[in-house]
Structure 1
Amino acid sequence: MKTTTISAGLLAATLLAGPTGAADLRYGAPYQQPPPYAAVPTWTGPYVGVNLGYQFGSSALSMNPSGIVGGVQGGYNYQIGQFVIGAETDFQFSGAEDTFAAYKFSNPWFGTLRGRAGFAMNNVLLYGTAGFAYGRGEVEWFGWSQTKTHTGWTAGAGIEVAFTQNWSARAEYLYVDLEKQNYTMLGLNAGIESSIVRFGLNYRF
């Protein structure tokens, strides 16, 4: 009788412990998941970078000065919620040039000073930009040449993707309108309107 009582007690203890053990296995601490992608905590801060692209231009006398363009940029962003505002300046060296009859027009360099406003989705930033533009125009004719500094405006849009806490890449379109100047030596009024597609790499501090 004593042996039967002990056996029954052991059986009852086993039955009571069974659900508890199963519960421990089922509802215990979950499997440790790997950490998610290290998202950009904020776009706020200064940055510098480089860019490379192509300039499609048009000017006087049906000339279309076009060529490879590249340069540097720098700026500052400030994020409020998902909205990002900031300012950026850049300076570009350009191989844009074209000829018509004896005339040659080129745009060896230009720069911009722009405001930016965008919408951030974690590590992706969509933005628009607009502001002031300036640049050099050069006209050549039968060995004579004259240069002028043009001013104007620019506007565009782009997308920037952060792939680490500090580095980001972007693709951008800019329209740059440098107003006409009178090249008196050659009797020619010329400016340049350009569409620029470029890709850039930024380091954010």
Structure 2
Amino acid sequence: MKKLLLASTVLAGLTAAASAADLPRRAAPPPVFTPVPVFTWTGFYAGFNAGYGFGTGDDRQAPTVVVVNGASGLVAPGTSAALGFSNNRSNTDGFVGGGQIGYNWQLTPGSGVVFGVEADAQYVDFGRERNRFAQAGAGLLPGVGVFNPNGLSSLDYFGTVRGRLGYAFDRTLVYATGGFAYGSGGGREFGLPNSSRDEFQTGYAVGGGIEYALPTDSFLNFFRSSAVTLKVEGLYVNLDQGNRNNGFFATTPAGAPVSVTSPGVALVSGVTNSRRDTEFAVVRAGLNYKFGSY
């Protein structure tokens, strides 16, 4: 009897196992899909740059020399003096460096049109010897103001506020840029002895460049920004001086302007009726930290 019960139990177990094997197996859950975020240039950015600047203007004009006597009101009666002004743009190349901030908008993520605005401020280490003044003979009367009649000035800094328009090929952006420019440096007014004060200038800047966005986990991403971008850019900057002095090269102690046609003045050489622009080109590399959308 016991053998019969044991055999029945074994048979029932085998039958249940066989039935379970015939049942459909439960399918494994599908893998979770995590979409890769599409890069966009939209967002605020800030960074710094460094490069090289060089003058693009004509530096071959001869110095301007005028001789004045007491009738000019610049020297004492019965005396005379020679005044010489350099018209050369010497030392118009050197280091340029500074920082920039801006904002981009990209119309479609991935590849597409990008437009934005950028402002920058730059230190300039060239053009310090462009304005030279020499005097021979009698001393000028106290209160006389002397000006370079050709309006040359050096440059200590400049800045721009520009629009940018380009096309992004995913993480590579090619763009053109242009807008307002300003700068200041040693101006065209000479004190005694041979000093000059700053003269603020305005004009425009145009150029273009290429920018590439590194991965978010780049070792350069010190500020945990959404991206770090590297750029190479070229700019042409023209700080327009115009033709505004009309030959004036000095003022009397009373403030009256003196030109080459004034009594007691003789033009020996050079020109005194034009003011040339401060124009130069800049090639620079930059690093930006982008904040906002990925």
1:150 to 2:213 alignment: no
Secondary structure at the residue paired with 2:275?
Answer: strand
Q: Which has the higher helix share?
A: 1
Q: Cα 1:136–1:163, aligned 2, differ >3 Å: closer, same or farther? A: same
The structure whose Rg is larger is: 2
The structural deviation recorded for 1:69 is 0.4
Provide Cα deviations, 1:28-63, integer angstroms capped at 9, x if missing partner. Answer: xxxxxxxxxx88610000000000001111457231
Name 2:97's counterpart in structure 1. 70
Aligned residues: 168
Q: Which amino acid aligns with 1:48?
A: A
Task: Name the structure where strand makes up a greater proportion of residues.
Answer: 1
> What are the ranges of 5 or more consecutive residues in structure 2 without an aligned counterpart?
1-35, 60-86, 134-151, 217-226, 252-271
Higher relative contact order (CA 8 A, sep 6+): 2
Q: What is the TM-score with the length of structure 1 in the denominator?
A: 0.73
For residues 101 and 41 of structure 1, the distance between their equivalents in structure 2, rounded to whole angstroms, comes to: 50
TM-score, normalising length: structure 2:
0.52
Q: Shift in Å at residue 125 of structure 1?
A: 0.3
Match of 1:45 among 21, 43, 46: 43
Q: Encode CA deviations 1:133-184: one digit per residue, 9 max, x unaligned.
A: 0000314765221321000011000000111231010000001000117696
Q: Pick from 97, 113, 119 the counterpart of residue 83 of structure 1.
A: 113
Unaligned runs of 5+ in 1: 1-37
The 8 Å contact of residues 153 and 199 in structure 2, kept in 1 or not, is answered as no
Percent of residue pairs bearing the same amino acid type: 39
Over aligned residues, Cα RMSD in angstroms? Answer: 2.7
Give, as a single letter, the amino acid of the residue that structure 2 aligns with 1:200.
G
Q: What does residue range 50-199 of structure 1 map to in structure 2 within 5 Å? A: 50-58=48-56, 61-64=87-90, 65-81=92-108, 82-97=112-127, 99=129, 102=132, 105-139=153-187, 143-165=194-216, 166-180=227-241, 189-199=275-285
Runs of 4+ in 1 over 6 A off after TM superposition: none
- In 1: Cα distance, 2:282 partner to 2:204 partner: 13
CA shift in 2, pair 1:126/1:100, >3 Å? closer
